[in-house]
Structure 1
Amino acid sequence: MKSPRHATTRGKVRTQLWATRHLLRSRMMAPMGPRKIAGMARIFRSYGPHATTGFALSANRCPDRTGLVDDRGSLTWREIQDRADALAVGLSGLGDRPPTSVAILCRNHRGFVDAFLAAGRLGVPGLLLNTGFSAPQLADVLEREQSALIVYDEEFAGLVADARDRIPGLTEVLSWVEDEEATQEHPTAEGLIAAHRGQRPPVVRPGRVVLLTSGTTGTPKGANRSGGGPAELAAMLERIPWHGEETVVVAAPTFHAWGMGQLVIAATMACTIVLRRKFDPEATLALADRHRATGIGLVPVMLERIMELPDEVLDRYHLDSVRFVSASGSRMRGEAVTAFMDRFGDKVYNSYNATEAGQISIATPADLRHAPDTAGRPVTGTTVRLVDDEGRDVPVGEVGRILLRGASEFDGYTTGDTKDSLDGYMVSGDVGRLDEDGRLYVVGRDDDMIVSGGENVYPVEVERAIGELADVREVVVVGVDDEAFGQRLAAYVVPTQPGALDPDAVRAHVKARLAGYKVPRDVVLLDELPRNASGKVVARDLPAVP
């Protein structure tokens, strides 16, 4: 199906009917009386298709249903709305002038939701900050985005203090504190909610949500994106079996585009959202079983950590209520996907998304059984092209640059920059290939390609070869400067246990499977790979090789 933005009037009608069918099938659109229908219409008039709208819709649809469960208990949808109203009023009275944005540095708990919704109530941007930021990164982003108000968990007080000198007049609000009764230097979100309970801010159009790119190679950029509306949601529901008014565990970081997406979808469908401040692999399984969850949203490294648990631990959990485990954010190790499905059933869905482009493709369990490393087929409403450096379409099976055109539009970075485009398609920055059945395989980033002695090497194929070794827990391959070859390959490998691997054996294994120029000259054994909070490897933090 063509993208709704490029369709004829008849095509748009077909798209709307198709979207409605999937929204009804998933029970996202539930039968309700005239008063609730009128309430929904009022909410749409007030908020429009915004990320916070789903929370208001669920409070109208089922106000007394449990909307959120976290480390401190449960909240109904009505209570979530009341807390957001009260916090918005409290935040508006802080500082010398009303806030122009709300920066949020919180883990997965009610405080993140409170601040995110409050920003929407105030009509200002909500800036979602990575909990894995260093102090300089935090200061850089706050300064660039001109954020003068930050809501943060107490554990990040040191980072915020380091940034304070660069942000004159920074207003600080503590979200999660261990002891609410203790005297705090700054106001707390719970204190503001208590002080303004029952109050509501003026109704305004919600401000945009600013999502940050991963920043694995530099300072993260803020991305503005217009959502594709019901059609984009329906494209996901067509593949992944979400149902309204069920329970979903959101383990993925909510500041990340994928975690935020899972949060917003769950809220829009009135699903009870189960959060835990810090990820723990066994605790995630326990939450899903205890709450009879039908879905789990995570990032790939979380699924891998779950499958690294001892068999005697995994045997305690059944996940028989779970219909889907949806993952996105980085490449998934095929062996971990297969092991998970062998134990818990064919329930894994792998999504290929981009902060700038939204949802691109989804691999179903059947796709992953066929090829555990596939990103699946493009979702309805999204078109994918693969082209060479001259912009010509490449044959099936060959690697090319991934171009995208979909239901949502990228509105540019907050710096004023934007993504390159070609013939009406956005240049993703990724490279990949398509198989005969239309499945997409993402090989890596366009700028990840290593040119060694005039030969092009994509790290992922070397990583796959090394990952075949039984004693390899995880691996990343990068290019390093070399006087003779321009670049050479360096492999950073985490063994399953100390002393389990020999670098020469790793090189010999690759040489037996790939061309000689793809054999890494350097093999560095590490206890763990440096990752950011969303699970992506941060290449600049890898140790230098001689």
Structure 2
Amino acid sequence: MSLSIFDAARDAPREPALITPERSFTFGELADLAARVETPSTLLGHLDVNTIVQLHACIAKRRPVVLVHPRWTARERLAARGRAPEDALAVVFTSGSSGAPRGVVLPRRAFEASARASAKNLGWQDDDRWLLELSPAHVGGLSILTRCLMDRKAVVLGSDLERSRATLVSWVPTQLARWLDAHPEQRAPQHLRAVVLGGAAASPALRRRARARGFRVLGSYGLTEACSQVSTEREPGDSSGAPLPGISVRLEDGCIQIAGPTLLSRYWDGECPLSEDGWLTTRDVGRFDTEGRLHVLGRVDDVIVTGGENVHPLEVEAVLESDPRVREACVFGIDDATWGQRVAAALVLTEAADANGVVAAADLADFKRPRELFVVSNLA
């Protein structure tokens, strides 16, 4: 099916397209609204009906749009001045290595391919509706809108998880942790069939907490340059899942490389980060397990080099947090005159746990074991 609210209105005019606490909009009603609104060249990515309608209008009328995070300062918004190139569906910003926002030119075919890949991996059920709690200024939020549009499914906006009756939600780990903290006695709603978790590393401890409360948590890995998801679990586990259909992933010196139709055209400044044969080299480090699932170990810049050996903090944290005596772990490097850096860890432990005993029992190579330990009450 096509990526157009007008086509969706012809295919499923009376099916729900957007559900808010105040009212629901069918595809037909949403198309009528989109037909009447102006198509801005720049749009603040608010989570509201007006923004969703304007986005649908831009997509259906093939008017490229530059998406700006609504919480950006006036200085940060200077990066979004100008018009999106004609071959873009949208320009979406990501942080470059300098931390400054960088525009990513994402064409229509990237969103279409991403939606198809997600549908093949996760599947759609007749009653599916996706709760949107990520700003459409982020590719994770925008891609929820486009994948639901492609398959004529409803987006739920401005509602909490219980009242939304949503069957799917995409969260970053912080959102999942906040829900668990805010509802200490509550289990996952029965209508929710999956939480797609991404945007940052999710600790084993957080996954355990969520699963103990009935959440079906599916780890994922993605980035703006690949139009959101690159890999997603089919069943709950401890990985970021296998690459989605149509997307190729390989490792070069540990760095994750990606190829496929979901990739960007180029950056807005004109630079194309793709190799001649179409591969994107990320700054992320990973490994594949024996089942072909991707495990993201961190960023190249985060690597601790100790005695000539590379240690990835996320890998060590995951092993430490797999011990039920460890609530949270943070692994980092400390400068060392002999080794260059030594591995250190801050641990939040259960009451009776001994930090040295935890490290001694950890399934880690000797050079990966933290040499310096800090026991803290929290990592905030």
Same fold (TM over 0.5): yes
Matched-pair contact (CA < 8 Å) for 1:88–1:121: no
**Cα distance, 1:269–1:522 mapped onto 2, change above 3 Å:** same
Is contact 1:249-1:287 (8 Å) kept? no
CA contact (8 A) 1:250 1:273 kept: yes
Q: 2:373 matched to 1:510? A: no
Q: Contact 1:120/1:207 (CA < 8 Å) preserved in 2? A: no
* In 2, Cα distance between equivalents of 1:214 and 1:520: 33
Letter in 2 for 1:352: Y
1:113 to 52, 58, 65: 52
State whether residues 480 and 487 of structure 1, in contact with CA within 8 Å, keep that contact through their aligned partners in structure 2: yes
Matched position secondary structure for 2:185 = helix
Matched residue SS, 1:329 = coil
- Write the letter of the residue equivalent to 1:221: R
Q: What's the counterpart of residue 304 of structure 2?
A: 450
Match of 1:86 among 31, 36, 49: 36
Separation (CA, whole Å) in 1 of partners of 2:375 and 2:265 = 41
Instruction: Name the aligned partner's letter for residue 240 of structure 2.
Output: A
Q: Is the 8 A contact 2:355 2:373 kept in 1?
A: no
Tell me, in whole angstroms, the C-alpha distance in 2 between the residues paired with 1:382 and 1:440.
13
* 2:136 counterpart SS class: coil
Distance 2:344 2:94 in 1: 25
Partners of 2:177 and 2:200 in 1: CA distance: 12
Shift of 1:238: 2.1
Residue deviations 1:196-240, cap 9 Å, x none? Answer: xxxxxxxxx895311222568611221113334755433322221
- Asked if structure 1 preserves the Cα contact closer than 8 Å seen for 2:247 and 2:262, the reply is no
Asked whether the 8 Å contact 2:307–2:340 carries over to 1, the reply is yes
| % identical aligned pairs | 28
Conserved? CA contact 1:351–1:362, under 8 Å = yes
Does the aligned pair in 2 maintain the 1:507–1:520 contact within 8 Å?
no
Q: C-alpha separation between the residues in 1 aligned to 2:222 and 2:78? A: 28
AA of the residue aligned to 1:218: G
For residues 196 and 217 of structure 2, what CA distance do their matches in structure 1 show? 6
Aligned residue for 1:80, secondary structure, equals: helix
* Whole-angstrom CA distance in 1 between matches of 2:38 and 2:371: 54
Cα offset, 1:457, TM superposition = 1.0
Provide the secondary structure at the position in 1 that maps to 2:264: strand
Provide the residue aligned with 1:534 in structure 2.
Answer: none
Picking from 120, 128, 138, the partner of 2:67 is 128
- Distance, in Å, in 1 between the alignment partners of 2:301 and 2:375 is 22
Conserved? CA contact 2:88–2:106, under 8 Å: no
**Are the aligned partners of 1:245 and 1:269 in contact in 2 as well (CA < 8 Å)?**
no
1:523 Cα deviation after fit: 3.9
Aligned-residue CA RMSD (Å): 3.6
Asked if residue 59 in structure 1 is aligned to residue 9 in structure 2, the reply is yes
Q: How many residues are aligned here?
A: 375
User: Alpha-carbon deviation of 1:121?
Assistant: 6.4
What is the SS of the residue equivalent to 1:313? coil
Work out which of the residue numbers 211, 216, 219 in structure 2 matches 1:350: 219
- Corresponding residue for 2:291? 437
Q: Give the one of 249, 253, 263 matched to 2:135.
A: 253
| Secondary structure of 2:141's aligned partner | helix
Matched, 1:220 2:89: no
Other-structure match for 1:375: 240
Q: TM-score scaled by structure 1?
A: 0.59
1:266–1:273: 8 Å Cα contact kept in structure 2? yes
Q: Give the structure with higher Rg (CA).
A: 1
Q: TM-score, normalised by structure 2?
A: 0.82
For residue 358 of structure 2, what is the amino acid of its counterpart? H
Structure 1 counterpart of 2:78, one-letter code: E
Structure 2: which 5+ residue stretches go unaligned? none
For 2:370, the equivalent position in structure 1 comes to 519
Alignment check: 8 A CA contact 1:363 1:374 kept: yes
Question: Structure 1 residues 310 and 70 mapped into 2: Cα distance closer, same or farther (>3 Å)?
Answer: closer
- 1:283-362 equivalence runs, <5 A: 283-284=160-161, 286-288=162-164, 291=165, 293-314=166-187, 318-319=189-190, 321-344=191-214, 347-358=216-227, 359-362=229-232
Contact 2:136 2:142 in 1 (8 A): yes
For residues 108-130 of structure 1, the C-alpha deviation after alignment (integer angstroms, 9 at most, x for no partner) is 22133134234446755423333
Q: CA deviation at 1:401?
A: 1.8
Query: In the alignment, what sits opposite 1:264?
Result: 146
Q: CA deviation at 1:441?
A: 1.4
Give the structure with the larger helix fraction: 1
SS of aligned partner of 1:409 = coil
The verdict on how the C-alpha distance between 1:88 and 1:245 changes in structure 2, with shifts beyond 3 A counting, is farther
Which whole-Å CA distance do the structure 2 matches of 1:207 and 1:56 have between them? 19
Q: 1:509 to 1:422 in 2, by over 3 A?
A: farther
Match for residue 407 of structure 1? 261
Separation of aligned partners in 2, 1:408 and 1:213: 16
Change (3 A) 1:266 1:511: same
Structure with bigger strand share is 2
Following TM superposition, by how much is the alpha carbon of 1:430 offset from its aligned partner in structure 2, in angstroms? 1.6
Deviation at 1:475, TM superposition (A): 4.1
Change beyond 3 A, Cα 1:82–1:423: closer
C-alpha contact 2:325 2:358 (8 A) present in aligned 1 = no
8 Å contact from structure 1 (residues 259, 298) kept in 2: no
Letter in 1 for 2:206: A
Per-residue displacement from partner, 1:431-459 (whole Å, max 9, x unpaired)?
21122222221111222212134331101
What is the DSSP-based 3-state SS (H/G/I as helix, E as strand, rest coil) of the residue aligned with 1:429? Answer: strand
Amino acid paired to 1:128? L
Q: CA deviation at 1:242?
A: 1.5
